[in-house]
Structure 1
Amino acid sequence: MRAALKVLASRLLGGCVVLLIVAVMVFSLVHLASGDPIAVLLGDQATAADIAQVRAQYGLDRPLATQFFLWMGQVVQGNLGMSIFMQQPVAEVLWSRAEPTLMLATLSVLIATLIGVPCGVLAAVWRGSRTDQALSAVAMCAASVPSFWMGLILIRIFAVQLGWLPASGYGPPDAGLLEKLRHMILPSAVLGILNSALIIRFTRASMLDTLGEDYVRTARAKGLSEPAVIVRHVLRNALIPIVTVIGLTMALMIGGTVVTETVFNLPGVGGLVVRAVLRRDYPVIQGTLLVVAFIYVLINFMIDFLYTVIDPRIREAR
């Protein structure tokens, strides 16, 4: 028990250090970049005195170190600041845009996993065959296709020509869950198909490493059926790198859906960040990137916990 608490405390401390480093880097890069959010807010007709007055209201005239420590003091209290342009708390702005992004990331990872793991298993079991070569070729092509191009192709086929699915948007404000899911099918398919390529390759490599182990030959010698050997012995022992890449894919989805959200006109976090960058809305940029970094840390923590569930030897070693 004491060892488990020690490991937990170590992971939490490491996560806090990562978030602090991210906060310093994000704050520095945002404030050192060219452009003034107040000048953008007030427009071309504003005088230097007007800009200076508003900068003082937002505390942007203070030294950068002072601004950073004031911001970190707010973050520790759960306050990500106030958006300069939307005049809303950053946390509320993010929460209003979080649902489409989280739904898109979750469905995309689900599709990528349902495609990637079975295809990777088949490619490993039938290594060297035409099936293996075909699946490897498909994975390579999927990894090379730009997401915006595939999105436009799927829109043309399933929305324009066949009329089966909506081309863009997230449905009306009062839309139910099924209607929202219907709008998410195409963007989720785009990201799911493209990101399944990495899962296929990792699954295949991990399965090939495990297939040559002595306990696999022993299981076959005992007369177990080939499906039982593959599922119970090979796949289970090959899950750790597979779970790792799936978790990292989920984290990348949350932080990297900007292009897909733009193509499908989804009101998600990606579009919010793009507009915040164009406007130099410092609090929104800083708050969003810090939240994304926190999600990365949380997902890595969950992956680390899953290791102990998948392989009891890791739990005993700790």
Structure 2
Amino acid sequence: MISFIASRISFAALVLLLLSGFVFTLFFVAPGDPARIVAGERATEAQVAMVRENLGLDRPVIEQYFSFLGRSLSGDLGFSYRNQQPVIELIKNRMPATISLCIGAVIMWLCMGIPIGIMSARHPGSVRDRLGQGFVLVGVSFPSFVLGMAALYFLYFLPRQAGFTLFPPGGYRSFLENPLIWAWHMALPCFTLALLSAAIYARLTRGQLLEILGEDYIRTARAKGLSERKVVYKHGVRSIFPPLTTQLGADIASLLGGALVTEQVFGLQGIGSLAVQSVQTQDRPVIIGVVMLAGFFIVLANLVVDFLYFLLDPRIRS
């Protein structure tokens, strides 16, 4: 177990090191004047010189990289001269909305997808199975931005035209201020982000469970007189968690891309909208900070998934 944990942590550290090297090369070594880009087009030569000195761009490249790496490890992601704020402060202000959206979407798609997949697998060819397959078809057919616009039209605009408010149009409210208002504002964005993944998990759960229910040990359990419910949930469902955990690790890596679109549709001032604004204004320190922080959380999430897989699959521990 110790060797497994050590190898995974070492690999995660290597991935983060490679990411930092790629980001540094892309933004500081590539052709162009990084100081001029960071300071902005309207900056004076004195301001550009000050930025160049603050970033250490007058030193050898290897020294610049180790300085960049040291600042990143200490939590210093740079300073946004366009916003006149440290990058870490900008990210902290946007982090609650993105964390709420991502965690809410993960919980929602697991709570929707897995039960629907189990229901379909337990009754193959039945009406319930066809309904489950219909849910999968709808889920994989709609892009998140189309689903978001449709949700706003049918669940906000039309009820408002009828004289009542079913859901708010968007925006983020703090969980600490009022959890109920927070949940009300996050329901539509989380559902929009979760539907595609819920459909994928329903299809994956159904396929895995149908295969497992045909195994010899399942037939043996039925022959012993166990109820169908016990056979499915005690022996069958437990065996589908390792592949679902693997899929979860891959989905977390792509979650931020979907969150970016969803934040734009619902006006959530999160990390995704901050990244879009930074790209539009060429605010390099913020872009670097967002990329580094996103990479860290993706690697951390996959590290947690690897540990869960280690606990769920006894073949790895042997």
- With the length of structure 1 as denominator, give the TM-score of the two structures: 0.88
SS in 2 for 1:165: coil
Question: In the alignment, does 2:14 pair up with 1:12?
Answer: no
RMSD: 2.5
Q: Match for residue 228 of structure 1? A: 230
What are the superposed Cα offsets for residues 233-288 of structure 1, whole Å, 9 maximum, x if unpaired?
00101111112223433443245411100111101000111112222222222222
Give the C-alpha shift of residue 191 in structure 1.
1.0
Question: In the alignment, does 2:281 pair up with 1:284?
Answer: no
Partner Cα separation in structure 2 for residue 35 and residue 181 of structure 1: 45
Of 15, 19, 22, 1:25 maps to 22
Q: Match for residue 126 of structure 1? A: 123
Conserved 8 A contact 1:37-1:279: no
Conserved 8 A contact 2:156-2:166: yes
1:137-216 maps to which residues of 2 (within 5 A)? 137-162=134-159, 163-171=165-173, 175-216=177-218
SS in 2 for 1:238: helix
Q: Match for residue 270 of structure 2? A: 268
Question: In the alignment, does 2:249 pair up with 1:252?
Answer: no
SS in 1 for 2:55: coil
Question: In the alignment, does 2:74 pair up with 1:69?
Answer: no
Give the C-alpha shift of residue 174 in structure 1.
8.5
Q: Match for residue 294 of structure 1? A: 296
Which AA in structure 2 matches 1:59? Answer: L
SS in 1 for 2:267: coil
Partner Cα separation in structure 1 for residue 114 and residue 33 of structure 2: 46
Give the C-alpha shift of residue 305 in structure 1.
1.7
Once structures 1 and 2 are overlaid, which stretch shifts more, 135-144 or 257-266? 135-144
Partner Cα separation in structure 1 for residue 69 and residue 269 of structure 2: 28
Give the C-alpha shift of residue 107 in structure 1.
0.9
Give the C-alpha shift of residue 110 in structure 1.
1.1
In the alignment, structure 2 segments of 5+ residues that lack a partner are 160-164
Conserved 8 A contact 2:123-2:129: yes
Q: Match for residue 59 of structure 1? A: 55
SS in 2 for 1:257: helix
Conserved 8 A contact 1:255-1:292: no
Give the C-alpha shift of residue 50 in structure 1.
4.8
Give the C-alpha shift of residue 295 in structure 1.
1.5
Which AA in structure 1 matches 2:11? Answer: G
SS in 1 for 2:226: coil
Distance 1:83-1:268 versus aligned 2 partners, 3 A rule: same
Give the C-alpha shift of residue 129 in structure 1.
3.9
Count of equivalent residues: 311
Distance 1:102-1:152 versus aligned 2 partners, 3 A rule: same
Of 91, 96, 106, 2:93 maps to 96
What are the superposed Cα offsets for residues 33-92 of structure 1, whole Å, 9 maximum, x if unpaired?
878674575445x56x35643442443743654433221121223322222322333222
Once structures 1 and 2 are overlaid, which stretch shifts more, 81-90 or 283-292? 81-90
Partner Cα separation in structure 2 for residue 148 and residue 23 of structure 1: 31
Question: In the alignment, does 2:110 pair up with 1:110?
Answer: no
Distance 1:56-1:307 versus aligned 2 partners, 3 A rule: closer
Partner Cα separation in structure 2 for residue 89 and residue 212 of structure 1: 58
What are the superposed Cα offsets for residues 143-202 of structure 1, whole Å, 9 maximum, x if unpaired?
221111111111112212222111011138994222122110110111112221111121
Which AA in structure 1 matches 2:312? Answer: I
Give the C-alpha shift of residue 13 in structure 1.
0.6
Which AA in structure 2 matches 1:244? Answer: T
Which AA in structure 1 matches 2:81? Answer: I
Partner Cα separation in structure 2 for residue 185 and residue 51 of structure 1: 45
Identity of aligned residues (%): 35
In the alignment, structure 1 segments of 5+ residues that lack a partner are none
Which AA in structure 1 matches 2:227? Answer: S
